[in-house]
């Protein structure tokens, strides 16, 4: 009996162990399926958002087509003759660009309108010219002081009466402007304010109401109108305050202007501004005179400076341009480096006092210095026509930002160059800054797809992002990929991806890998890279592609001083 009992006990143990092993396998399989479901749900949401954007884009284009069939560009309105005369005598313009006349006819008809036009397409003329024909004042709402200063400087040269109110305005100037707002004898035509001024100054709002009751409020022109939407690439909380404009001033038409807005952003803006039936006019994204180029960023800071200096001193000798940097510290250091190489350059960022910012801006506008080295605080609405180059020291945080920033080149329709340096470390510098934003990481990864693509036409990539179509043959070799004479070689990265994930699977809480540490650990395993003879730059691109495609995932960790991005299997 004892033997039988022992045999029975052993067999039960074997059964239990077998069941336990099967249970572990089931748990592992369930865990794997859960991860797959999570990834599929995430992909499902991405596709749903893309589907919605495409549907809304088709709807917007259909509305734009209907608007054009309504003859918005007619020249037999009551104001048409005077509009044409002022266009020539005041602005010195013989021919308008597409959609400019349609936009002006709409706002002069007191209709609400949103114009989407590329940077440099001439959006500001669409409210400046009508302002000369309208009774009263056009209130222009802009997000940046530099933008307003630039337009005021240009209007002064044209002898057009315009003013600006911002946080640095003196009491005397504020008093003067308030008087001009309500004086029937005033010749003030354009008044520039920030959205913060509307949101935080009850006194200004009271004068605005007086102006409205006197029928002296001609229209609201909201520049960079995409800032209203949390889904936009440059959301600003004070822009949401603009939702009260239609409630408080129902008869004043709203003209919204932007260079970059998807259909979902435009729909959001319409809801916020309470103009559901406004006409949306959308121009093509393409700027035929711009040459797009991506360069690998040297890992050595000195080598990068030398390359940028060489570009400015040779290809862009004595030509005006902008160098965009990620941080204030970067912009200050780059400006010093350019100056040390004999170039006339000035720094521009938000923490500089207003006087020094304005001085740098004015010197650059009047060609007293060649280069402005700036953060993104510089540029929205900049109207300098002869900018021959825009160089990005660091990748932008989104395609919308890059399109807008690079579009500050070549506003005179002459050839200009848009160059961005693709840096591996910059991915993680940017991602730790944008991951908390709605769609921040998704937008950054779209920018990575742009800079890492070595074969597709740059214009086709931009068009795809903004829901348009583009034939590479139409580029006419105006980008590095279309101009490249050598073919791009493709190869399977499966073994590399497997090797990288194996490295990460051995990590622990004590040892975790940042992007740079993973790159170093991978390159230390030379046998796995020798077959393809990959350079460090190519290895960086492989890791970035694995991240954007979800095979590697960024995992963020907070310290008292910074946010760190670690990589884990995706």
Structure tokens given for 322: 């902008």
**Structural contact between residues 421 and 296, judged by C-beta atoms closer than 8 angstroms:** yes
What's the order of all strands across the beta sheet hosting 190-193?
162-165, 190-193, 137-141, 217-223, 254-258, 113-116, 279-282
The CA-CA-CA angle for residues 393, 396, 401, to 5°, reads 130
Instruction: Please state, as a whole number, how many other Cβ atoms lie within 10 Å of the Cβ of residue 470.
Output: 19
Active site positions, annotated = 123
The CA-CA-CA angle for residues 260, 287, 477, to 5°, reads 130
Please provide the DSSP assignment of 203-257 as one string.
Answer: HHHHHHHHHHHTT-EEEEEEETGGGG-TTSTT--GGGGGGGGHHHH-TTS-EEEE
Contacts of 344 (CB under 8 A, 6+ apart): 368, 369, 370, 371
**How buried is 292 (Cβ within 10 angstroms: 0-12 exposed, 13-18 middle, 19+ buried)?**
buried
Q: Phi-psi category of 110—alpha, beta or left, where left has phi over 0 and alpha has psi -120 to 50? A: left
Q: State the alpha helices, DSSP H only, in 70-144.
A: 80-89, 100-108, 125-133
**Structural contact between residues 270 and 246, judged by C-beta atoms closer than 8 angstroms:** no
d(CA 181, CA 216): 8
d(CA 216, CA 402): 38
d(CA 123, CA 168): 27
Place of tokens 């602005």: 91
**Structural contact between residues 72 and 78, judged by C-beta atoms closer than 8 angstroms:** no
Q: Is 262 helix (H, G, I), strand (E, B) or coil?
A: coil
**Structural contact between residues 65 and 102, judged by C-beta atoms closer than 8 angstroms:** no
Kindly report the backbone phi and psi dihedral angles of residue 420, in degrees, each rounded to the nearest multiple of 5, phi listed first: -125, 135
**Structural contact between residues 29 and 245, judged by C-beta atoms closer than 8 angstroms:** no
Q: What are the E-state strand segments in 269-357?
A: 279-282, 290-296, 320-324, 345-348
- Residue 473 is inside which H or E element, if any? none
**Structural contact between residues 390 and 321, judged by C-beta atoms closer than 8 angstroms:** yes
d(CA 351, CA 354): 9
| Stated length of the chain | 570
CA atoms within 13 A on the CB side of 175: 3
Place of tokens 């920033």: 405
């Amino acid at each position: 009996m004892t033997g039988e009992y022992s045999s029975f006990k052993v067999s039960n143990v074997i059964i239990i162990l077998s069941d336990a092993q099967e249970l572990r396998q089931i748990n592992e399989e369930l865990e794997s399926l859960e991860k797959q479901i999570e990834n599929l749900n995430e992909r499902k949401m991405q596709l749903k958002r893309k589907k919605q954007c495409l549907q809304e884009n088709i709807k917007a284009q259909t509305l734009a087509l209907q608007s054009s069939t309504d003859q918005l560009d007619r020249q037999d309105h009551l104001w048409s003759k005077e509009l044409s005369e002022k266009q020539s005598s005041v602005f010195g313009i013989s021919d308008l660009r597409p959609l400019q006349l349609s936009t002006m006819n709409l706002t002069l008809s007191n209709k609400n309108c949103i114009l989407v036009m590329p940077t440099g397409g001439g959006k500001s003329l669409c409210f400046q010219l009508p302002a000369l024909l309208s009774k009263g004042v056009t209130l222009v709402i802009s997000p940046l002081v530099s933008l307003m200063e630039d337009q005021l400087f240009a209007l002064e040269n044209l002898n057009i009466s315009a003013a600006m109110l911002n946080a640095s305005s003196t009491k005397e100037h504020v008093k003067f402007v308030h008087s001009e707002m309500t004086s029937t004898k005033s010749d003030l035509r354009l008044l520039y304010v920030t959205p913060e001024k509307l949101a935080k100054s009850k006194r200004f709002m009271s004068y605005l109401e007086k102006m409205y009751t006197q029928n002296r409020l001609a229209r609201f022109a909201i520049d960079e109108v995409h800032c209203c939407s949390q889904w936009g690439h440059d959301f600003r909380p004070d822009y949401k305050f603009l939702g009260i404009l239609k409630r408080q001033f129902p008869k004043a038409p709203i003209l919204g202007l932007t260079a970059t807005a998807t259909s979902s952003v435009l729909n959001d803006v319409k809801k916020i501004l309470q103009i559901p039936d406004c006409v949306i006019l959308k121009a093509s994204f393409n700027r035929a005179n711009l040459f797009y180029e991506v360069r690998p960023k040297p890992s050595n800071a000195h080598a990068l400076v030398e390359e940028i200096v060489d570009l400015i001193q040779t290809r862009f000798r004595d030509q005006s341009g902008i160098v965009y940097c990620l941080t204030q510290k970067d912009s200050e250091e780059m400006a010093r480096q350019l100056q040390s190489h004999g170039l006339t350059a000035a720094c521009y960022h938000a923490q500089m006092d207003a006087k020094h910012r304005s001085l740098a801006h004015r010197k650059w506008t009047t060609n007293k210095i060649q280069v402005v080295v700036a953060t993104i605080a510089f540029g929205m609405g900049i109207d300098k026509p002869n900018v021959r180059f825009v160089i990005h020291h660091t990748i932008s945080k989104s395609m919308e930002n890059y399109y807008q920033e690079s579009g500050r080149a070549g506003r005179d329709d002459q050839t200009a160059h848009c160059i961005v340096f693709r840096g591996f470390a910059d991915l993680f510098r940017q991602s730790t800054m944008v991951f908390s934003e709605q769609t921040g990481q998704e937008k950054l990864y779209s920018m990575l797809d742009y800079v890492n693509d070595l074969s597709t036409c740059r214009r086709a990539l931009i068009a795809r992002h903004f829901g348009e179509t583009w034939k590479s043959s139409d580029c006419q070799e105006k980008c590095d990929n279309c101009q490249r004479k050598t073919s791009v070689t493709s190869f399977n990265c499966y073994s590399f991806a497997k090797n990288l994930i194996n490295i990460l699977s051995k990590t622990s809480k004590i040892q975790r890998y940042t992007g740079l540490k993973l790159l170093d650990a991978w390159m230390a395993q030379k046998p796995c890279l020798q077959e393809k003879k990959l350079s460090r730059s190519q290895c960086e691109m492989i890791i970035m592609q694995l991240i954007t495609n979800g095979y590697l995932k960024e995992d963020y960790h907070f310290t008292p001083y910074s946010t760190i991005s670690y990589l884990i299997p995706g």
